[in-house]
């Protein structure tokens, strides 16, 4: 059994993982989804503490849990490795940080906006349309999940989280995987291939169908890929 700790992105709600958690448990694993703090002053330390507290006194074995980090959570998950043993980091459609960089600086530093505009043009969408929650995030999410997401209490990342420099001098010495949706309009695949090669050289990008909110749109495929490499082959 593996303990998977699922960290949401900018929305911060554990609900994001609600379609993946039961699938992991059906495979015999423990799975805990984390609610992140939403206060304006909640910085990196508070977010890391929220993850550690969510794990609590679970028996995660000598190697620790597998952390699965969606999007902005790629800034948080490596810092958890400073607090507890971690078996593996799995980054999903990640916002891969660089030492000393703030999450607010990341966009210009990586050229994300230009990459998203180019991908929109490639798909035949208006590259100058600006961000649209439905078009950019929920375009491939089932309607029932979209409706539930929209009916929930509004949430989002703190201002402090975007202003605080990423404190690690190097990526932690923990096996790391990158899972990327081929249909992600927010962080296009080609863009992510470049950023991963620059910031985590040697770590391949494993692509799967689905957009930015792949845990909602493609939970079966995502669960299968998450478990690939972290569970023993099943007996026939």
Instruction: Report pLDDT digits (tens) over 28-80.
Output: 999 999 999 987 789 999 999 999 999 999 989 889 999 999 999 999 999 99
In which band, very low, low, confident or very high, does the pLDDT at 234 lie, cut at 50, 70 and 90? very low
User: Given a cut of 50, is residue 14 above it in pLDDT?
Assistant: yes
User: 12: closest CA among 45, 43, 34?
Assistant: 34
Alpha helices in the chain (DSSP H): 21-26, 44-55, 77-80, 103-110, 112-122, 143-151, 159-163, 189-199, 214-217, 219-227
Q: Specify the pLDDT at position 158.
A: 83
At 92, give phi and psi (nearest 5°).
-115, 120
User: Given a cut of 90, is residue 81 above it in pLDDT?
Assistant: yes
Q: Specify the pLDDT at position 153.
A: 72
Q: Specify the pLDDT at position 225.
A: 97
Share of the chain above pLDDT 90, in %: 87
Q: Which residue has the higher pLDDT, 228 or 235?
A: 228
Q: Specify the pLDDT at position 170.
A: 97
110-145 confidence digits (pLDDT tens): 999 999 999 999 999 999 999 999 999 999 999 999
Q: Specify the pLDDT at position 154.
A: 65
Architecture of domain 3-227: 3-Layer(aba) Sandwich (3.40)
In which band, very low, low, confident or very high, does the pLDDT at 157 lie, cut at 50, 70 and 90? confident
Cα distance between residue 90 and residue 226, in whole Å: 7
Q: Which residue has the higher pLDDT, 228 or 19?
A: 19
Segment 166-172 mean pLDDT:
98
Domain extents in the chain: 3-227
Q: Are strands 176-181 and 205-208 parallel, antiparallel or unpaired?
A: parallel
User: 204: closest CA among 235, 234, 176, 168?
Assistant: 176
Dihedral sign computed on CA atoms, order 119, 158, 161, 146 = negative
Share of the chain above pLDDT 70, in %: 96
Q: Specify the pLDDT at position 235.
A: 30
- 75-100 core/surface letters (b: 16 or more CB in 10 A; e: else): bbbbbbbeeeebbbbbbbbbbbbbee
> Rounded to two decimals, what is the model's pTM?
0.94
Q: Specify the pLDDT at position 230.
A: 65
Dihedral sign computed on CA atoms, order 100, 104, 106, 109 = negative
Q: Specify the pLDDT at position 231.
A: 56
190-207 confidence digits (pLDDT tens): 999 999 999 999 999 999
């Amino acid at each position: 059994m593996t303990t998977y700790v699922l960290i949401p992105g900018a929305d911060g709600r554990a609900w994001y993982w609600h379609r993946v958690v039961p699938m992991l448990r059906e495979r015999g694993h423990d799975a805990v989804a984390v609610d992140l703090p939403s206060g304006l002053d909640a910085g990196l330390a508070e977010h890391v503490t929220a993850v550690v507290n969510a794990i609590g006194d679970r028996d995660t074995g000598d190697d620790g849990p597998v952390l699965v980090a969606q999007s902005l959570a790629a800034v948080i998950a490596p810092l958890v490795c400073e607090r507890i043993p971690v078996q593996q980091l799995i980054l999903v459609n990640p916002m891969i940080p660089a030492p000393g960089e703030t999450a607010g600086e990341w966009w210009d530093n990586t050229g994300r906006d230009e990459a998203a505009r180019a991908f929109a043009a490639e798909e035949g969408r208006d590259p100058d349309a600006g961000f649209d929650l439905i078009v950019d995030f929920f375009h491939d999410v089932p309607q029932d999940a979209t409706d539930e997401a929209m009916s929930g209490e509004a949430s989002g990342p703190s201002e402090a989280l975007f202003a605080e420099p990423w404190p690690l001098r190097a990526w932690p010495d923990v096996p790391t995987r990158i899972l990327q949706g081929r249909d992600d309009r927010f962080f296009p695949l080609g863009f992510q291939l470049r950023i991963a090669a620059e910031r985590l050289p040697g770590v391949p990008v494993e692509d799967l169908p689905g957009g930015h909110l792949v845990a909602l749109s493609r939970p079966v495929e995502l669960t299968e890929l998450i478990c690939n490499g972290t569970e023993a082959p099943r007996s026939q």
